[in-house]
Structure 1
């Protein structure tokens, strides 16, 4: 095996990240790239008839060292993105973009893919359903990437891709820096009234860590509405925090540009790339590899939701004003929503839970639904300081090393950590690779004061269930090819299983009856949260449905462009800023992962709410729940992208998705009149 930055591996081939030499990433990457290039050249040069073995399997294995290396680097850099690792990432981005282009646009490799398809179609080569699906995806990906372009156009495309890699890295680095510099320093504890002692202690520790001799530092999370605003009774502090949050995107980097300007230039480059490929805009270029059928289908869903959300958000603002006795400002909304919620349920016990109790619920739900057992492994080192390790078993046979894989959890915020919450992984299940899942979940919870326990809010518990849904998608996967395993589904499908996992929180409280319309109390706050979410989706679509000339024009005034878009959609709500705007929208500008695809969360919610209704029918029946869980696991979770994900959905529910459950839970005002 090639040299790696780590010196030893643990169970399930989990790299021991405590032994990493950060100086080794770059040479290891270069060696892994060269190894894959040699293998791809061999595949392309082979004169033997194309077979599953000498084309598909050979290609799937060609980048095994690079894939393993980049997975590990991605895990530690997002969790602990030190300046040196950020520098490695910046240097690697154009190299990896060029390498990906070299593979995707390799004429000999593309020809071998097409030869294999012809031999399979003519009956000369046997293949499984998964193998045919993998081949289809490879050919489609190559075509969308420009494999059919002439040499001159391919060279231009490669240049654009390298520029994009550089710009996306520049956006990410500046955003991390701005997030740190936007943290709000508060002088006195009196200005933090309403926060828990744990949060205040964490703020004091954050200030000390940042080098402040006194005061309390409030770090910002990614979304515009900061969770701390729900508790802060000091209005001026709320204003400072909110203003710091929404004003992100104004810090100039070393080249004088802000993230807003970098993001706008990224949109210009993507528009040019789409035009070169023969598409009207960037969104049209990525839809062939998504599950949504068309832009019209996405926008039709969005307009229906946006209309109801805007009306409900305005009603919520009026109710907040009545409760507070004055017209709210934007920094009052999160606080006001929480105050009204508490007034509606004065006898409600605290929804907060200690972390270990929340984990017990999480693992208990997975056992009851999918028949798995999760056991903590105190002998395994964390991949970053404070991370915890768990082994996941199928059933109750708990022989170490014989399970489904490892689940690694890093819940605490740190200055070098990316914002938000996410799932990542060191490896995925693959019969071809002989590998199992080693997956991570990452959150940004403030660490407790010394001697105190970590407590998760209701929202953080939901995030815990959500991210573990991604982990289950990987842990329960069954695939030949790692490229199709687990969460390697289209972007607008990947959030579906994680959102389904949120329904199992209801196992520990009164479940929502299947088909029930939520009460006004249950709908409280949905207008605001949905409006800010849809607004971010609309901003993403707006940037990625422009022609090159239109994108150039929008880039002259990125903020003004977004404001006009919000007005056109009826989402220019003074009290409800978009969840993300172009200056702090890492999902779409720090990488291409969610570009023209942030709608994926809502699209996946259509699938998830439909499936949740199906699960709610049996939440109070343990045997029926286990039966449906086994069916969902077998036909959907284990399948990953080994077949069309919509086919997997149909295999579970026996029909196409129905959007009515989602509309009922978000904005019942726009339910079809026939209901």
Structure 2
């Protein structure tokens, strides 16, 4: 029986044939591709010829190509459009893939071949990229336990396989909690809400068959509700549900899972000879050590907390003036902060949002990419995995650069948040392959026939994720495992956060921030007020982020806690977390850290990268302006195109001439001391 996942793809741009793929195809395809990959690895390990870069390192790079292709389709769909069968398959595939990974990395004959090539590296006349691939490959094997023997090796395999299963369980529990909760509103409950929130609540209620308007746990709906609802009781109910994800008791409670994950990570680090999991994880990052991370975060924490506490005093006074004789609580902050923003900046989000249409913000991101890098983005008609997806071909001077998918709207089958992923990474090994990249967001879907309207934060998210996409699309390396965003975790956010700065340009907003009904550009005074408010409430935003980043760091920098929730509170008390502000991501729903290894001991990465993005944009200001094409060409040449072929600090220094300090970050967040 033909399986489209295993057949040669004859689609346009060799895209996945989504219209032919069924869930029933995934399991046999993964089994077949996994068997092929195992056989290829065994051929490399048992090769009678002397080890060379070509027959060992390059061969290993190519060993799992079909498996990568099948899994690229499956995991993108499992994250963006899940269903019970795909969730079942995640649970089936997790131990299979973990066992395969362990079998590869703990294959002693294979590692000995890699080690032979490594020891001879200075005599092999390797290109810089080949030398980098050799280093990264050997390092990955060592860090995965290739040098362990006996019971330690067997135990590490068990730990890694268990961690993989727990990550899947954590993710699926969180998705279930986010999917299953909603709060139905009466018509009276809608009073005081702006039209765009009412529309979103009605659309959500209709999609859920809730019997009326509803608030869900989608960030694009619950945050505006917390900003605008005058009903303190309903705000509290919504906030408590939002922050209780993964901690509601019963089958979807993630607290014991988090405890076990932390304990297993500590054991993993100990088996590999590291003082802590953070020391293990940070060894290959720019930061290198937990102490360096803590130093940066605390430099920002003090001015941020000072600002947040001053703001809390102002908001408390506003609440008391409203006749609420109580302490300011987390479910009050956004409501009174929005009122204060309207007072101080004369900025009403309900009046602002019609100027921030999704379609026009997409156009703005594409236009900036064109002016900076010469990219042309045009829609294409191809089969897609969901009706909401948009597809585009990206070209430059008539040459195909890649395919970009935009998956922008929230739905119950999609995990929360926003991310960039690839169905296919760029590479040249065995022939040129151009990337297929997807941005996934969770914006509120408008009623049929109405334009989708964004908040300014939503628009920043769109630019942020397209910055990641540019990192993938502009990649120009030979080896796929080093391409695009395959860089240090605390460097990967640089291109995405840097691209956000182009949304802040008055000339960009003047062209693309046009009213949904009249087509008129945003009035200049409104535009100026919006940009002037860009650092408004930055004390709150920085504190809620840093609370999560510091808890993540301390979770992994020492002995794993017996009670993660008690330890979380201990860390927050120790840094003096303001009572009316909660962590952005509390432990039971901290998917960055517990859904997989990606951002574990690494949530600080956003701020580490922000130090660089603030400094990098200063380079444009110091040059010929934000659309300085010579500087953009250097950014592409030294950072965006090279992927992981060079160390991150080397890449940044090649672009900027030096490494930055946190001064530009503090200035950009409005937290620098007054001159």
Q: TM-score, length-normalised on structure 1? A: 0.91
> What is the CA distance between 1:162 and its match in structure 2?
1.1
> What is the CA distance between 1:329 and its match in structure 2?
2.4
> What is the CA distance between 1:632 and its match in structure 2?
0.4
Q: Which residue of 2 aligns with 1:514?
A: none
Q: Which residue of 2 aligns with 1:515?
A: none
Aligned mate of 2:606, from 572, 597, 601: 601
Given that 2:502 and 2:626 are in contact with CA atoms closer than 8 Å, whether structure 1 keeps it comes out as no
Question: 1:506–1:524: structure 2 CA closer, same or farther, 3 Å change rule?
Answer: closer
Given that 1:225 and 1:579 are in contact with CA atoms closer than 8 Å, whether structure 2 keeps it comes out as no
Q: Deviations over 1:376-419 (max 9, x none)?
A: 11x11323221000111113x3xxxx410111001111101010
Q: Deviations over 1:330-382 (max 9, x none)?
A: 111112222211212227862541111111111111111111111111x1132
Question: 1:25–1:303: structure 2 CA closer, same or farther, 3 Å change rule?
Answer: same
Residue 387 (1) aligns with residue 389 (2)? yes
- Aligned ranges for residues 577-616 of structure 1 at < 5 Å? 577-616=582-621
Residue 651 (1) aligns with residue 654 (2)? yes
Given that 1:307 and 1:570 are in contact with CA atoms closer than 8 Å, whether structure 2 keeps it comes out as no
1: CA distance between counterparts of 2:624 and 2:469?
A: 22
Given that 2:216 and 2:222 are in contact with CA atoms closer than 8 Å, whether structure 1 keeps it comes out as no
Residue 367 (1) aligns with residue 370 (2)? yes
Q: Deviations over 1:17-50 (max 9, x none)?
A: 2221111211111111111111111111123232
Q: Deviations over 1:70-120 (max 9, x none)?
A: 111111111101111011001111111111111112111211111112222
Question: 1:446–1:194: structure 2 CA closer, same or farther, 3 Å change rule?
Answer: farther
Q: Deviations over 1:194-243 (max 9, x none)?
A: 4444443332333343343x122212136998343223233332222111
Given that 1:223 and 1:579 are in contact with CA atoms closer than 8 Å, whether structure 2 keeps it comes out as no
Q: Which residue of 2 aligns with 1:133?
A: 132
526-535 or 333-342, which deviates more: 333-342
Q: Which residue of 2 aligns with 1:318?
A: 313
Q: Which residue of 2 aligns with 1:105?
A: 106
Aligned mate of 1:559, from 565, 583, 591: 565
Given that 1:174 and 1:253 are in contact with CA atoms closer than 8 Å, whether structure 2 keeps it comes out as no
Q: Which residue of 2 aligns with 1:406?
A: 403
Given that 1:264 and 1:582 are in contact with CA atoms closer than 8 Å, whether structure 2 keeps it comes out as no
Q: Which residue of 2 aligns with 1:634?
A: 637
Q: Which residue of 2 aligns with 1:274?
A: 269
> What is the CA distance between 1:271 and its match in structure 2?
0.8
Q: Deviations over 1:118-162 (max 9, x none)?
A: 2221x2x22110110111011111111111111221111101111
> What is the CA distance between 1:11 and its match in structure 2?
2.3
87-96 or 109-118, which deviates more: 109-118
2: CA distance between counterparts of 1:39 and 1:159?
A: 24
- Aligned ranges for residues 47-126 of structure 1 at < 5 Å? 47-121=48-122, 123=123, 125-126=124-125
Given that 1:320 and 1:336 are in contact with CA atoms closer than 8 Å, whether structure 2 keeps it comes out as yes
2: CA distance between counterparts of 1:185 and 1:266?
A: 35
2: CA distance between counterparts of 1:171 and 1:621?
A: 42
Question: 1:405–1:202: structure 2 CA closer, same or farther, 3 Å change rule?
Answer: same
2: CA distance between counterparts of 1:5 and 1:473?
A: 27
Residue 239 (1) aligns with residue 236 (2)? yes
> What is the CA distance between 1:667 and its match in structure 2?
5.5
User: What is the number of residues matched between the two proteins?
Assistant: 645
647-656 or 43-52, which deviates more: 43-52
Question: 1:527–1:64: structure 2 CA closer, same or farther, 3 Å change rule?
Answer: same
1: CA distance between counterparts of 2:208 and 2:466?
A: 31
Aligned-CA RMSD value: 2.3
Q: Which residue of 1 aligns with 2:422?
A: 425
Q: Which residue of 2 aligns with 1:668?
A: 671
The DSSP-based 3-state class of the residue aligned with 2:395 is strand
Q: Which residue of 2 aligns with 1:525?
A: 537
Q: TM-score, length-normalised on structure 2? A: 0.91
Q: Which runs of 5+ in 1 are unaligned?
A: 512-517
The DSSP-based 3-state class of the residue aligned with 1:456 is coil
Q: Deviations over 1:517-556 (max 9, x none)?
A: x999553200000000000011111221232xxx2xx33x
> What is the CA distance between 1:253 and its match in structure 2?
4.2
> What is the CA distance between 1:462 and its match in structure 2?
0.3
Question: 1:91–1:252: structure 2 CA closer, same or farther, 3 Å change rule?
Answer: farther
Residue 357 (1) aligns with residue 356 (2)? no
2: CA distance between counterparts of 1:222 and 1:145?
A: 36
Q: Deviations over 1:631-671 (max 9, x none)?
A: 10111100010111211101100112222101222363469
Given that 2:193 and 2:225 are in contact with CA atoms closer than 8 Å, whether structure 1 keeps it comes out as yes
- Aligned ranges for residues 490-569 of structure 1 at < 5 Å? 490-509=488-507, 522-547=534-559, 551=560, 554-555=561-562, 557-569=563-575
Q: Which runs of 5+ in 2 are unaligned?
A: 510-529
Given that 1:6 and 1:20 are in contact with CA atoms closer than 8 Å, whether structure 2 keeps it comes out as no
> What is the CA distance between 1:178 and its match in structure 2?
1.0
Question: 1:222–1:172: structure 2 CA closer, same or farther, 3 Å change rule?
Answer: farther
Residue 184 (1) aligns with residue 183 (2)? yes
The DSSP-based 3-state class of the residue aligned with 2:286 is coil
Given that 1:423 and 1:441 are in contact with CA atoms closer than 8 Å, whether structure 2 keeps it comes out as yes
Question: 1:90–1:9: structure 2 CA closer, same or farther, 3 Å change rule?
Answer: farther
The DSSP-based 3-state class of the residue aligned with 1:403 is strand
44-53 or 196-205, which deviates more: 196-205
Q: Which residue of 2 aligns with 1:330?
A: 330
